[in-house]
Amino acid sequence: MRFFPQRLLALASLLTAADAMATTGSGASIFFDDFHYADTTALVAGGWKIRDQQGHPGIEHGQWGPGTVSLVDDPQAGGQRLLRMSARTDGTAGGTYQAQLCHQRKYFEGTYAARIRFTDAPLQGPGGDLVVEAFYTSSPLKHDFDPQYSELDWEYLPNGGWGNPHSRLYSVSWQTVQMEPWNAFNQVHEEQRALGGWHTVLMQVGGGKIRYFLDGVQLDEHGGRNYPAQPMSINFNLWFSPSGVLPDTRVERRYEQDLAWVMHAKDQLLSPAQVDAAVGAYRHSGVHHVDTVAAMAPPLPSNCDF
């Protein structure tokens, strides 16, 4: 049989899409996004929310947006796009702009994964601020020690902080917390090393266990009271902790965090290799966005303010 180039391309797309469905299951509920948007207007139309409200975390009265989220071409992968988060501070509230991106609050058990470029040094100004680069899922904290509060975190601190001067990556499963005075109940793993560059972080959530993987290697397993209790939103943020901001306010410091893709497979515990295969199949076939994870009924608010 003779195939013309257009037909070969169409056949390849069908095969790679089928590979992705085989990896995740034919009836699977999947959320996948590789941020192939022209601009932030298209990003918001695609279901994302860019934070614009003051509040926790970060420097008190610091700003969230505008101009802290953008879409750029990936210099390492022709035809692909990256989402870029930028945060800057001169040590004052008025001179601080932090970034946060949130999706709907409809995610619970299953597999979460994201490809993130962490940065160790500021693009301008002196290093040393306690900056936090994060991917996490969360539900609202309705009050201190809310028993339904649910949050699972990846937090990278390139300059250390919070009582430890070393670069490290946290994986944290939360039971509950009191904000003032601070009193947290959670389970924590600390990967104490510099991790500037691209990494894939993954969480398997099911059967009362949360397993954290970095670049295909399992770091820890949490559970018990720290297991999530209710649906959560998917979030990324980049912010400055007030407990470790440099005192010099004459020079602005600016950090970036890039995102290549994010994926959630509802009620499926996929291995890192299975996630990589599914993402590769989607991208090879030109599929940039999949969302078959149904909203909660009634839909739950995702305020993107925490």
> Peptide bond preceding 298: is omega within 30 degrees of 0, i.e. cis?
yes
CB within 8 Å of 118: residues ≥ 6 apart: 133, 156, 158, 169, 195, 196, 197, 199, 257
What's the fold here for domain 25-291? Jelly Rolls (2.60.120)
pLDDT tens per residue across span 205-263: 999 999 999 999 999 999 999 999 999 999 999 999 999 999 888 899 999 999 999 99
Q: Are strands 97-107 and 63-64 parallel, antiparallel or unpaired?
A: parallel
Residues 218 and 234: their CA atoms lie apart, in Å, by 21
Nearest to 244 by CA among 51, 65, 89: 89
Residue 222 has a pLDDT of: 98
Q: Which DSSP category does 299 fall into?
A: P
pLDDT tens per residue across span 77-87: 889 999 999 99
Q: Are strands 81-89 and 69-73 parallel, antiparallel or unpaired?
A: antiparallel
Residue 78 has a pLDDT of: 85
List the end-to-end C-alpha distance of the chain, in Å, as a whole number.
58
pLDDT at 102 over 90: yes
Residues 185 and 146: their CA atoms lie apart, in Å, by 11
Which of 17-21, 114-118, 246-250 shows the highest mean pLDDT?
A: 114-118
Let me know: does 8 contact 285? Beta carbons within 8 Å: no
Residue 114 has a pLDDT of: 99
